[in-house]
Structure 1
Amino acid sequence: MIFSRGTIEGIAAALAADGLILRGGFRFAGDEAAPAGLSGAPARSVLLVGQAGAAPWPHFQRWFERQPQLVANPLDTWSREVIGAVAQEFGARAVSPSDRPYLPFQQWAMRAEGLKPSPLGILMHPTYGLWHAYRGALLFEEEIFLPEPQEAIHLCDTCIDKPCMKSCPVDAYSGQGFAHEACLGHVRGPRGEPCRSGGCLDRNTCPYGTSFRYPPEVQAFHMAAFASL
């Protein structure tokens, strides 16, 4: 395949039909241990696929309602189907953040969009804040020439109060990292209803990207998946 601006626009249009967007990409260096492409040869380029806000949610819901039985990890399954179909159309190998062995999606994302992690570990986006995600990637055995990403303004550096570190009742996030068991116990417990129904309190207090904040039902879905409820 010869890549052109039209090809990338075609990929973007195919993803947009399900509320997904391209999230940048890059070429692997010649001496880099790149993952395999479609034929098994090392990939030479990657395009990341994700979302801004909850745009894919209506598309996912319609798909989920059509399933004849309960699907394990339904959002991952839907994402693989949608991105896999686009990969097939454009001659790429589709990969997912939940594939084993894990691929370095966060490092790829920082490289593709010039982002840095927030204190919560989620990458901070200058427009979307914490309300975005990466759903997969397209690996190509051709070189795709993309402009080098500009390093994004890291909004966490401008935030003095850091409300995202002060709202959790069990201080799940701190300078020592994420207290997974404390968070999980709280969410599953009697005092965890606000988190179960409306999402992570720390994440929701972030002042950036609030117009992209996931609706409560979307946050409840993700929290139920996290807590295996």
Structure 2
Amino acid sequence: MTPDALDQAAQAAGLRLRGMFAPDPDAVLPEGTETLVLLGPDEPRFWPLFAASDEYRTGVADPMDAWSKRVIGALAHDWGGSAIFPSDGPPWPPFIKWATDCAEAWEAPVGLLVHHHAGLFLSFRGAIALPFTVTRPDAFQHPCDTCTDQPCVTACPVGAMGPGQPYDVPRCKTYLRTDAGQNCREDGCLVRRACPVSQEFTRHPEQAAFHMRAFLGN
């Protein structure tokens, strides 16, 4: 299969290819893996598809993980591969390392991963280990290399994220639970939204609020 064929099949399911690479022979992956494909939401189409799913409408536990396992599991079956999910663990699959191995995502100044198309809204719903070689010929440029203003650096209202510092999760969560944090809580992280690439990658407010509720644990 070609990268375009894989991407078209993923898109029909509400997903897109967010990277692929040939893993090292000693990587902890299903035997015979020659290509690892990373899949993320196809924004803004993803949210309406997910919101109409049985997993979301019936209120099952962790509905997005359940949806991902059903949909990506079906793609893996069709492609003759094995599905892998961020929730598989412990030990947890190294999705961040895989993302950078693809050379389609890099570390942004604030420490988050940035993708050439999804910006700081990059996320992965799963991966598929394929027993055949697929080569993606495109070469992608680190979007931060041409971003002169770097608005992400100063976007966090409480300084929970910034250059040269670890992400201060407790400070972020404390702010989100206040009245002042309503903007981030309901419309999504200001740092992610500040990225010029992210601004071209539309995400539904309902989806942003869904992820923030999950992040806060309520």
TM-score normalised over the length of structure 2 = 0.86
Q: Which residue of 1 aligns with 2:178?
A: 189
Match of 1:97 in 2: 86
1:162 corresponds to which residue?
A: 150
Is 1:48 paired with 2:38? Answer: yes
Give RMSD over aligned pairs: 2.3
CA contact (8 A) 1:126 1:155 kept: yes
Q: Give yes or no for contact 2:50–2:56 (8 Å, CA) kept in 1.
A: no
1:127 aligns with 2:117: yes
CA contact (8 A) 1:119 1:173 kept: no
Partner of 1:63: 53
Identity fraction in percent: 37
Q: Among residues 5, 8, 17, which one is paired with 1:13 in the alignment?
A: 8
Secondary structure in 2 matching 1:134: coil
Check 1:202–1:58 CA distance in 2 against 1; reply closer, same or farther (3 A cut): same
**Equivalent residue letter for 1:118:** A
Which residue is 2:28 aligned to? 34
Shift of 1:149: 5.5
How big is the shift at 1:193?
Answer: 1.2
CA shift in 2, pair 1:116/1:227, >3 Å: same
CA contact (8 A) 1:120 1:203 kept: no
**Which residue identity does 1:28 align to in structure 2?**
P
1:112 aligned partner: 102
Q: 1:113 to 1:19 in 2, by over 3 A?
A: farther
8 A contact 1:54–1:212 mirrored in 2: yes
Cα distance in 1 for residues equivalent to 2:57 and 2:93? 29
Give unpaired runs (5+ residues) of structure 1: none
User: 1:191 Cα deviation (Å)?
Assistant: 2.2
- Mapped to 2, the partners of 1:220 and 1:173 lie a distance apart of 20
Letter in 1 for 2:43: G
Give 3-state SS (helix, strand or coil) of 1:80's partner. helix
Instruction: Determine whether 1:171 maps to 2:187.
Output: no
Change (3 A) 1:33 1:132: closer
1:80 counterpart (69, 72, 83): 69
Deviation at 1:106, TM superposition (A): 1.7
Please tell me whether residue 22 in structure 1 is matched to residue 17 in structure 2: yes
Check conservation: 1:52, 1:132, Cα contact below 8 A: no
How far apart in 1 are the matches of 2:82 and 2:202? 31
1:100-148 Cα distance to aligned partner (Å, 9 max, x none): 12111122122224321213443222333223322111112x2314146
State the secondary structure of the residue aligned to 2:125: strand
Whether contact under 8 Å (1:163, 1:206) holds in the other structure is yes
**Cα deviation, residue 64, structure 1:** 4.3
**Alpha-carbon distance between aligned partners in 2 of 1:201 and 1:66, rounded to the nearest angstrom:** 26
- After superposition, the Cα gap between the structure-2 partners of 1:34 and 1:119, relative to the gap in structure 1 and judged at 3 Å, is same
Give the direction of change, closer, same or farther, for the CA distance of 1:52–1:110 in structure 2 (3 Å limit).
Answer: farther
Deviations 1:41-87 (A, max 9, x none): 3533211212343321111011047743x222211211111000111
Q: CA deviation at 1:96?
A: 0.8
- The letter of the residue matching 2:17 is L
| C-alpha contact (below 8 Å) 2:47/2:204 kept by paired residues | no
Rg larger for? 1
Q: Note the C-alpha offset of 1:10.
A: 4.8
CA contact (8 A) 2:104 2:115 kept: no
Return the TM-score normalized by structure 1.
Answer: 0.83
Task: Tell me, in whole angstroms, the C-alpha distance in 2 between the residues paired with 1:58 and 1:170.
Answer: 32
The aligned amino acid for 1:23 is R
